[in-house]
Amino acid sequence: MNTVTNESVTNESVTNESVTNEQENPMSMTEPATTSIESSAPSPIYALQAVIREYQQKNRNVRALAGVDLEIREGEFVTIQGPTGGGKSTLLQMLGALDRPTSGVVKLGEVDLAKASNATLGHVRATEVGFVFQGFNLIPTLTAHENVDMGLEPLGLSGTDRHSRVAEALAQVGLAERADHLPGELSGGQQQRVAIARAIAKRPRVLLADEPTGNLDEHMRDEILELLEGLNRDGLTLIVVTHDSAVARRAHRRLRLEKGSVREI
Ligand code: ADP
Ligand code: MG
């Protein structure tokens, strides 16, 4: 599962067929991250029912998700805590259209990701979901600008549009001045800002983060938290897996995932 990264996501081809259905449905339209959600009651962005994900490990069957029912609303900031092996990363993969459940329903808007074609899943990853990982997952030989630009590859934008979106995303994370720096020339906190810029440049509906502050000291953690909170205030739905109770305290809603089952805390 650790082989799934944004890099693999950007290699997905996107077909127009998968786009058509979703655009006809207002529930699944892509909202820019800056859209205010105050004008209408928040609608569910995710609706999960009886989600089971089993993995085959040698001749053992491991149930990573054991029947998850969960609704997440547009604009929420949700954290997911729980012990290692509890199923947190597996759940994020379901939410991020990186994998399908063994059974159950994973609705993002009106689209059931459990039943969607590979092309639709690729389109969802390219346009609706931003990912941030503990280890930043930047390409060391590319500059900050080039790393952010990679996330836009599947969108088929013009060079000018791409350039301005990258510049805007880097400015949003406070790194406009560092566009030409390589990851190795940046602090951990700055590298994670680049990764966040890469995730938001596509203007996703939701940001999924798996231990985004796990490799950072307290000071950098607080910087990243403030940045994420700012994005959430601007309307971006935030789902963050964390071991850090300082992160979880800032959330609107805290979930615990243990032995494949979710509960509210
Ligand atoms: P967490 O992120 O909470 O630590 P994971 O979702 O990574 O938990 O893992 C949940 C369970 O599923 C663990 O028992 C893990 O070993 C198993 N698992 C996760 N991914 C795979 C995989 N690709 N193949 C086999 N087993 C897996
Ligand atoms: Mg994990």
In a domain, 198, yes or no: yes
Spatial separation of the C-alpha atoms in residues 170 and 152, rounded to whole Å: 13
pLDDT of residue 56: 93
**Low-confidence spans in the chain with pLDDT less than 70:** 1-42
pLDDT of residue 2: 41
Q: What is the whole-number distance in angstroms between the Cα of residue 87 and the centre of ligand 1?
A: 6
In a domain, 157, yes or no: yes
Burial profile 128-144: b = 16 or more Cβ within 10 angstroms, e = fewer: bbbbbbbebbbeeeebb
Cβ neighbours of residue 173 under 8 Å, at least 6 residues apart?
Answer: 193, 194, 196, 197, 200, 227
pLDDT of residue 43: 77
DSSP the chain: -TT--HHHHHT----HHHHHHHHH-GGGPPPPTT---TTSPPPEEEEEEEEEEEEEETTEEEEEEEEEEEEEETT-EEEEE--TTSSHHHHHHHHTTSS--SEEEEEETTEETTT--HHHHHHHHHHTEEEEETT----TTS-HHHHHHHTTGGG---HHHHHHHHHHHHHHTT-GGGTT--GGGS-HHHHHHHHHHHHHTT--SEEEEESTTTTS-HHHHHHHHHHHHHHHHTT-EEEEE-S-HHHHTTSSEEEEEETTEEEE-
**For the domain that residue 138 is a member of, what is the CATH number?**
3.40.50.300
Q: How many residues does the chain have?
A: 265
pLDDT of residue 26: 42
Spatial separation of the C-alpha atoms in residues 10 and 8, rounded to whole Å: 6
pLDDT of residue 39: 52
- Summarize pLDDT for 154-192 with one digit per residue, the tens: 899 999 999 999 999 999 999 999 999 999 999 999 999
User: Which ligand 1 atom lies nearest to the CA of residue 91?
Assistant: 6
In a domain, 37, yes or no: no
Q: Which of 102, 129, 136, 123 is nearest to 210 (CA)?
A: 136
User: Which ligand 1 atom lies nearest to the CA of residue 65?
Assistant: 10
pLDDT of residue 8: 40
Q: Whose CA is nearest to atom 16 of ligand 1?
A: 85
Could you list which residues have their CB under 5 Å from ion ligand 2?
Answer: 88-89
Candidate from 53, 59, 62 with most ligand 1 atoms within 8 A of CB, to mutate: 62
Full domain range(s) for residue 144: 6-28+45-264
In a domain, 1, yes or no: no
pLDDT of residue 211: 95
Q: What is the whole-number distance in angstroms between the Cα of residue 73 and the centre of ligand 1?
A: 26
Spatial separation of the C-alpha atoms in residues 56 and 154, rounded to whole Å: 32
Ligand nearest to the CA of 133: 2
In a domain, 40, yes or no: no
Ligand nearest to the CA of 134: 2
In the chain, how many domains are there? Answer: 1
Query: What backbone torsions phi and psi does residue 54 show, to the nearest 5 degrees?
Result: -110, 140
106 is written with which tokens? Answer: 């994973």
Q: What is the whole-number distance in angstroms between the Cα of residue 163 and the centre of ligand 2?
A: 33
Residues with CB under 6 A from ligand 1: 1, 55, 57, 62, 64, 82, 84-90
Candidate from 53, 59, 84, 90 with most ligand 1 atoms within 8 A of CB, to mutate: 90
Q: What is the whole-number distance in angstroms between the Cα of residue 215 and the centre of ligand 2?
A: 14
In a domain, 229, yes or no: yes
